[in-house]
Structure 1
Amino acid sequence: MAAIVDEDDISLPSDDEVEETQETQDEEVVTDLSNTEVVTKYLEASRITNLALESLIPHIVTGAKILDLIRIGEAIINKSLAKIYNKKVGGKVVSKGMAFPVCLSVNEKICNYTPLASEAPEEGLVAGDMVKIDLGCHIDGFISVAAHTVCVADSGASPELPGPSAGTVCAAAHNAMLVAAATIKAGNTNVQVTSALEKVCESYGVKCIANVRMHQMKHFVIDGPKEIALRQPNVDEGEERVETCTFEENEVYCVDVAMSTGEGKGREGTDRTTVYKRNVDQTYKLRMKASHYLLKAVTDNFPTMPFSLRMVEDERQAKMGVKECTDHNLLSAYPVFNERDGVFVAHFKCTVLLMPNGTKKVTGLDLPAYFTTDKTLDEENQKLLDEIREKEEKKRKKAAAKKKKKKAAGK
């Protein structure tokens, strides 16, 4: 089930105001959560992000092909976005689209796997495969992202986990996401979040993936200046330290948790990197025709958000031109990270808004019931989770009562 946001907790404009609000040209537009229109756009993007996850999961069954599933996810997002914000605001069309390409990383693959059409695997998924779904969209540059992990089964059947450790690492990663989301609140620091995650790992006997970072998100910026390490970096092994920062009201964060039953070290494998992002502050006079083609395609279609080379019309030109663009820092790469073969990996991600009355988790689904474990969480984090679930249950009941009342009034 998707994250629940109580409308009473967040002040929203009416539907007419959403479509007809005109931004004054001679005033600076407020792009943080103190602007109710901004909050509305985050919530709408989050609704579509959750819908894409929920709608895609039933298709992830034995025999399904990765590229077909990716295209289904993209179609859901694009069709949903096409239905809203179609009126011009301040004389301009509202920008909207993918904020992160749909990625499906299977088994030891951790993240960022979205193959080119010419290189997609022909074989379908098999029962017991662990699939990590990662996607996101934006409305007017206000970004919502999510990731979720499922186990593949025959259509209509319940999944059979490939081993007890699979349930443990998924429960650990999902609970860690919830703990992190609750700890990211105004006045707290990123050090507190990392400390809480380390306690979760210790309780479940798993490791956070060192390569993964959580990021602040800002207007048209998916990887903002403030970031959070999943674990204390090992500088002796070349891992970079993260600067200490304090969270503030009206900020937005991507809570990104990946864990494994192995060493927690993501390695680049043999899979081609297809996900990139334009470095808007970098320029260079390219020499190759293919590089010019790719950069123009990116500038026209994906000027600020991550994209897949698969989304560029001429795939051959894109493959030829990407090296020169990356060599000169015009594009940043999102490599496909892998753990060792036989290691179980889980990936969960949600978006949180730091509202004046507290942190609101607006994307992310519940942990599938088949991911079970005999491990228990430490007392402090378990208490925090119990409080989170109690609040969620109250909101569910309130939402159900409101829906029932509305239905009765309509008779």
Structure 2
Amino acid sequence: MAEEKKEIDYTLANPDTLTKYKTAAEISNTVLSAIVGLVKEGATVLSLCEEGDKLLEEETSKVFKGKKDIKKGVSFPTTISPDEIITPLTPNPEDTTTPEWALKAGQVVKIQLGAHIDGFAAVVGSTVVVPASEGAEAEITGEVADLLLATHYINQAFLRLILPPSLHPGAEEGKVVKPPTQTKINSILSSIAKTYGCSLVENTTTYQFERNEIEGKKKIILAPSEGTKGEGHPEIGDVWGVEVAVALGDSGKLKPSEYKPTLHRNTGVTFHLTRDTSRKVFNEVRTKFGSFPFSSRHLSDQKAAKFGILEATRHNVLRQYEILVEKEGKMTSKDFSVVAITKKGLSIISAPPAIDLEKIKSDKKITDEEILKLLEMPIGAPKKANKKKKKAGASADE
């Protein structure tokens, strides 16, 4: 009698799961660092995206060699979004209407990319300022400093707000503590943004991550528009992709741009596509990218892709990421981290590089005591006090 195949545990209870997440994160963080080093005046968005994707492929090919049953590769193509563009931007050179997007000194640029190992994705995003000269590390002041500090502190507060109550310092065993509501989360983060003359970008969504999925069922929506709401709350055993997007000023509202979307993902919706080319394109998407986002420039037949993506998008088989923008010239920022919630607290899987607070100067400061206390909270599990009962008559020194 054939031996029944044992079902693999893909939760965090299996140590291999966290190992794969962290291996993917090492790759993502390494590539992010390399691309940040290439951000300079004159560099184009396309050239940086192409280099990032090449590095992601090269680095993932070096790990888990010889394990044919473990797929690995890009979980989020390299995207570079300058100034008012908030949506991850990854141009396709086949589109003749695409601008060159050569970077200029002083521009605020958002970088996002990700790798995956066996479907466990580590996406990371960071905001950088294009230096005035190569290798320059001058002080950052004014509105740019305000924007970067707002993003940093909002991200730090958000990480603490998603800690389950049982992991909060001082949590008492048996005491039922409710997690903060999404309304409360929005109130605190909006207050930080306002301190720095900024606002949360409307409908910024943080999703639970799962194997082969970076947009799970549970989600937290920052600055939700009318009729939009989050679902569920973080729990021990979850992995979340924490996204923070901030805009200068008090708006934070976005509008579609005239640029053609090039970032797509498989929705999992079943529909019989009528064109042979559409089916061929979709099969390539499913085989090469699974349910992870991809750039249209990575499809082998660009002519077929043009029509195949159109039909697949029309029937919701593929979803396109509309290129959304703030007002022209308005600076926006974005950070993206992936965290695992364990019994020991938050395990930071991938995260933007730490900013040098000594070089970012602002005359604005957080003064709200509740927020300051929150920012001081450790993200590890609280240490349980030794509460052994003393015998009657025992001295305090015993």
TM-score range, shorter chain: 0.7 to 0.9
Task: Please state if 1:291 is matched with 2:278.
Answer: yes
1:406 corresponding residue in structure 2: none
How far off its partner does 1:149 sit? 0.5
Structure 2-normalised TM-score?
A: 0.84
1:59-84 Cα distance to aligned partner (Å, 9 max, x none): 00011111111112112211111111
Contact 2:163 2:346 in 1 (8 A): yes
1:56 corresponding residue in structure 2: 35
Letter in 2 for 1:276: H
What is the alpha-carbon distance in structure 1 between the residues aligned to residue 197 and residue 43 of structure 2?
Answer: 32
What is the alpha-carbon distance in structure 1 between the residues aligned to residue 137 and residue 209 of structure 2?
Answer: 36
Deviates more, 1:212-221 or 1:110-119: 110-119
Cα distance change, pair 87–189 in 1 and its aligned pair in 2 (3 A): farther
Contact 2:139 2:361 in 1 (8 A): no
Number of aligned residue pairs: give it.
357
What is the alpha-carbon distance in structure 1 between the residues aligned to residue 213 and residue 101 of structure 2?
Answer: 36
Contact 1:65 1:121 in 2 (8 A): no
1:7-58 Cα distance to aligned partner (Å, 9 max, x none): xxxxxxxxxxxxxxxxx96222111111101010111111111111111111
Cα distance change, pair 123–109 in 1 and its aligned pair in 2 (3 A): closer
What is the alpha-carbon distance in structure 1 between the residues aligned to residue 280 and residue 199 of structure 2?
Answer: 42
Q: Describe the SS at the equivalent of 2:350.
A: coil
Among candidates 264, 279, 285, match of residue 252 of structure 2:
264
How far off its partner does 1:213 sit? 0.4
How far off its partner does 1:388 sit? 4.9
Among candidates 79, 84, 87, match of residue 103 of structure 1:
79
What is the alpha-carbon distance in structure 1 between the residues aligned to residue 199 and residue 29 of structure 2?
Answer: 27
2:121 corresponding residue in structure 1: 143
Letter in 2 for 1:382: L
Letter in 2 for 1:52: V
What is the alpha-carbon distance in structure 2 between the residues aligned to residue 133 and residue 292 of structure 1?
Answer: 32
Contact 1:111 1:132 in 2 (8 A): no
What is the alpha-carbon distance in structure 2 between the residues aligned to residue 275 and residue 132 of structure 1?
Answer: 16
2:88 corresponding residue in structure 1: 112
Letter in 2 for 1:375: K
Q: Describe the SS at the equivalent of 2:54.
A: helix
How far off its partner does 1:372 sit? 3.1
Cα distance change, pair 304–85 in 1 and its aligned pair in 2 (3 A): same
Cα distance change, pair 311–368 in 1 and its aligned pair in 2 (3 A): farther
1:211 corresponding residue in structure 2: 203
Among candidates 338, 353, 356, match of residue 325 of structure 2:
338
Where do 5+ consecutive residues of structure 1 fail to align? 1-23, 392-411
Cα distance change, pair 123–255 in 1 and its aligned pair in 2 (3 A): closer
1:368-389 Cα distance to aligned partner (Å, 9 max, x none): 5544322112322223334459
What is the alpha-carbon distance in structure 1 between the residues aligned to residue 126 and residue 4 of structure 2?
Answer: 40
2:312 corresponding residue in structure 1: 325
Among candidates 71, 74, 78, match of residue 50 of structure 2:
71
Where do 5+ consecutive residues of structure 2 fail to align? 166-178, 381-398
1:134-171 Cα distance to aligned partner (Å, 9 max, x none): 1111110111111101111221223576x722211121
Cα distance change, pair 34–189 in 1 and its aligned pair in 2 (3 A): farther
1:124 corresponding residue in structure 2: 102
Among candidates 156, 159, 162, match of residue 135 of structure 2:
156
Letter in 2 for 1:372: K
For the pair shown, the structure with the greater C-alpha radius of gyration is 2
1:86 corresponding residue in structure 2: 65
Contact 1:190 1:227 in 2 (8 A): no
Contact 2:219 2:233 in 1 (8 A): no
Q: Describe the SS at the equivalent of 2:319.
A: strand
Q: Describe the SS at the equivalent of 2:22.
A: helix
Q: Describe the SS at the equivalent of 2:316.
A: coil
2:375 corresponding residue in structure 1: 385
Letter in 1 for 2:234: F
Q: Percent identity?
A: 29
Letter in 2 for 1:42: Y
2:242 corresponding residue in structure 1: 255
Letter in 2 for 1:241: K
Q: Describe the SS at the equivalent of 1:376.
A: coil
1:20 corresponding residue in structure 2: none
What is the alpha-carbon distance in structure 2 between the residues aligned to residue 258 and residue 112 of structure 1?
Answer: 12
Contact 1:193 1:228 in 2 (8 A): no
Q: Describe the SS at the equivalent of 2:75.
A: strand
Contact 1:127 1:160 in 2 (8 A): no
How far off its partner does 1:193 sit? 3.2
What is the alpha-carbon distance in structure 2 between the residues aligned to residue 159 and residue 62 of structure 1?
Answer: 15
Q: Which has the higher helix share?
A: 1
Q: Describe the SS at the equivalent of 1:69.
A: helix
How far off its partner does 1:284 sit? 1.9
Q: What is the 5 A alignment of 1:305-320? A: 305-320=292-307
What is the alpha-carbon distance in structure 1 between the residues aligned to residue 376 and residue 318 of structure 2?
Answer: 43
